[in-house]
Amino acid sequence: MKYTSLGRTGLQVSRLCLGTMNFGPETTKEDSFKIMDRALEHGINFFDTADVYGWKKGEGITEKILGEWFALGGGRRERTVLATKLYGDMGNGPLENWPNTNRVTALHIRRACEASLTRMQTDYLDLYQMHHIYRAAPWEEVWEAFEVLKYQGKVLYVGSSNFAAWNIVQANETAAKRHTMGLVSEQSKYSLLQRDIELEVGPACEAYGVGVIPWSPLGSGVLAGVMKGQDGKRRNGDWVKKLKEEKGDQLTAWENLCDELGEQPADVALAWTLTRSFVTAPIIGPRTIEQLDGSLRALEIELNAETLAKIDEIFPGFKTAPEHYAW
């Protein structure tokens, strides 16, 4: 396994991040345990989750699965760099339909952190991420709440997800005035099908030492081989059929290029994200051990300048703003 620093920190994380969103809804608890054990065997130490995963409001099903796995012992928690997220509505029971059970406020940050720690049976989070920007809360309020958690030893680093570049700048400039570290990572949707962050988010993150953690690096499976049926069950969805109609020529060219390389499209798509200078680790979301094992091939694929140029011809990217749209 290859490792790198998480943003500008000294924390070493694997170049692939294990996403757990399928744990519960798509993958049984028992199979989730096996996938996590295999991930550690492979040296994948970076696990990402969120309090809303499991998709039953307020229950935190996926976090509970991680907690039961940590409780098995054997150094599982100690070997894991654990990242989770807050923002979505977690109000249920007596708090059903009440305000202040979501977003990013001092109250919800405190409540959400305690709830995640309880569900995952741990006393700290390595990386605590805001799942989305909440513009109504001033950064002074947000940072004070996270600072309290850090002083208490419950959170080590803070990250963001789905932020615009100016949100990242705001956050880190405010943190600098408070003499705190600020954001160290940003989770963004990034793949060959959606390269928008190359305009501003990627450059801003690089300038501030914020590591980018791409989510959906396979374009929700579309880059895994939908034209030739290599992507499994996802190929029959209506949205995939629509994409095949709209981008069929691109996807066919993509899969033909991967055939020339003698590699699986999913592996090449992951390998491509690893060539981006601002990327720390793309998130893989395996439903099975076989999918997990297969994803490691991406670490071995080397894409030369000629191949990268061919990829850009198929899926044109963005220059850094403002050069992309101005002289």
Q: Identify the CA nearest to 187 among candidates 278, 120, 321, 294.
A: 278
Distance CA 248, CA 252 (A): 6
Helix (H, G, I), strand (E, B) or coil at 222: helix
Distance CA 14, CA 81 (A): 9
* pLDDT score of 231: 59
Mean pLDDT by 10 residues, the chain (327 residues): 98 98 97 98 98 96 98 98 98 91 98 98 98 98 98 98 98 98 98 98 98 96 87 62 89 98 98 98 97 97 98 97 95
Distance CA 55, CA 34 (A): 22
- DSSP state letters, 196-216: GGGTTHHHHHHHHT-EEEEES
Helix (H, G, I), strand (E, B) or coil at 90: coil
Token digits of residue 41 = 């065997």
Q: Identify the CA nearest to 48 among candidates 3, 13, 83, 87.
A: 83
* pLDDT score of 230: 65
Under 8 Å between Cβ of 233 and 224: no
* pLDDT score of 255: 97
Tell whether the torsion through CA atoms of 172, 8, 270 and 87 is positive or negative: negative
* pLDDT score of 127: 99
Under 8 Å between Cβ of 77 and 122: yes
53 annotated active-site: yes
Q: Which helix (H) or strand (E) holds 64?
A: helix 61-70
Domain chopping of the chain, boundaries: 3-221+264-304
Q: Which helix (H) or strand (E) holds 83?
A: strand 81-86
* pLDDT score of 252: 96
DSSP structural state of residue 101: S
Return the CATH architecture of domain 3-221+264-304. Answer: Alpha-Beta Barrel (3.20)
* pLDDT score of 236: 55
Active-site position among 53, 87, 128, 157? 53
DSSP structural state of residue 319: P
Cβ neighbour number for residue 129 with a 10 Å cutoff: 27
- Burial pattern 224-263, b for ≥16 Cβ within 10 A else e, equals bbbbeeebeeebeeeebeebeeebeebbebbbebbeebeb
* pLDDT score of 243: 85
- Report yes or no on whether pTM surpasses 0.85: yes
Q: Identify the CA nearest to 156 among candidates 187, 180, 173.
A: 180
